[in-house]
Structure 1
């Protein structure tokens, strides 16, 4: 039986001008940890998405923190975080 740890899932959303960046740390159907990042321009259909599969929650959390730090460095404003 697959066990999900939904209390550990994290999400964050940033904006800078008309650009957005969204990052989610959660588990997939097989309970593997996945970091899903999407970015693009607000008001258009242009954008991209990338999924990074992590071997453990610790590795996934470190990657999420690195994304958080990079967004701050690039002057994105945090809109929401959970």
Structure 2
């Protein structure tokens, strides 16, 4: 799991690449405010682990361009 925080606007973004019960790779994206329990999530099916890792690399660049800093990195990603 990867987690980014933007201290300026008090927002977070998180991404996790996981295998579902059917053996398919999914990219789980979660985002919201650090000040409330409200947020949203999106689960995207990816064609394989390599494709999912490439999507995460793209997310990293986008988050950094928007002022987010990575605060947590765990597991295989």
TM-score by length of 2: 0.86
1:43-75: CA deviation from partner (whole Å, max 9, x where unpaired): 312211011101111211111111111111111
How many residue pairs end up in the alignment?
72
Give the RMSD, CA atoms, in angstroms: 1.0
Distance in structure 1 (CA, Å) of the matches to 2:34 and 2:67: 17
Instruction: Select the structure with the greater relative contact order (CA < 8 A; seq sep ≥ 6).
Output: 2
Q: 3-state SS of the aligned residue for 1:30? A: coil
What TM-score does the superposition give when structure 1 sets the normalisation length? 0.81
